[in-house]
Structure 1
Amino acid sequence: MLHQIPVALVLYGLGGWSWVVWGVLVRVAACFTMHWYIAHVAHTDGPQDWSVDDAAIQGYNAPWLAIPTVGESWHSNHHAFPASARHGLYKGQIDIGYNFIQLLALLGLAKNIKLPENLPSREGLTAESARAKEAARNF
């Protein structure tokens, strides 16, 4: 977490200790809490587009958490294609994290972005929904 020190120094210079508290401590605490929460919710129950044979834990989608988790809530898709930069695979699946990666690519700061369509096929992957079965033809 040493990378927070330069951020804290800049925030302190701009606004003092209150900026450090909100810009570092509260932000990091909120991010960790959301990460733990989505890990619990997305491994418990919900809609599922994909299942992975012999996986100890399956991933489920939590659409209502798409915005605060920046797209990580499309966890069924993430379990199906863990190396993919895009988690929101279908129309209406908000994936702000992937949108940011697209911006980085546009600026020339990201290359060789991994997506389901350019990843090697995966054994033991079962399409569970109609849209996943349709997409499986392209992946």
Structure 2
Amino acid sequence: MEGPGPHAVNSVRPEGADAVAGRVRWDPTHSTWNGGMLATALILGPLTFTPAAFAIFLLSTGACLLLGHSVGFHRRTIHGSFQCPIWLEYLLAWFGTVTRMSGPHWMVRTHDLRDWAQRQPHCHPYLAHRTGMLRDAWWQMHCKIELERPPRFELGRIGRDPFYRFLERSWMVQQLPIALLLFWWGGIGFVVWGVCARIAISVHGHWFIGHLAHNRGPQS
């Protein structure tokens, strides 16, 4: 913990860290993946649309965001808000991974870095969504922040757990069995809507909500 207070973040060790000094750099891995999924959805989505494919999109997006990103990654892995059997924890972590924002270690580091930085007197605009919408979209989905003096991270059990390490290494590959199953079930349309469109809307929706939450309303 950062300290004994109730709002301390999970894994950040902030000694000597600076939340301001740093630069935003293009992240080729996430940029190519996110851009490729969006382009595929926009180009092939209208050509392969069927009511069944759209139903697959709705069901798979809801399952991944709710079970995986919200309950699995955010509430269980990051905040430890509830206890559950290890098999259920692993299942929820898998759903979180196939939501396709990244692997579990990356998600914890990203969440805790931003949470820590926003509690400092000042932080880099990247970490606070404090730029215009178009620049923030490019930064958040296609770039990464490289702080000159970043905090250290101690991921604890999930950093040592072989299953979490496997998910971290293979987060892209985890889409393959889903794509094969959907192709067998309903052809290329199911793959486009059940993988590409699902990933595109999840990534862009997650960014859009974050951007609005940091720039609209009472900010409390």
Query: Which TM class, normalised by the smaller chain length?
Result: 0.3 to 0.5
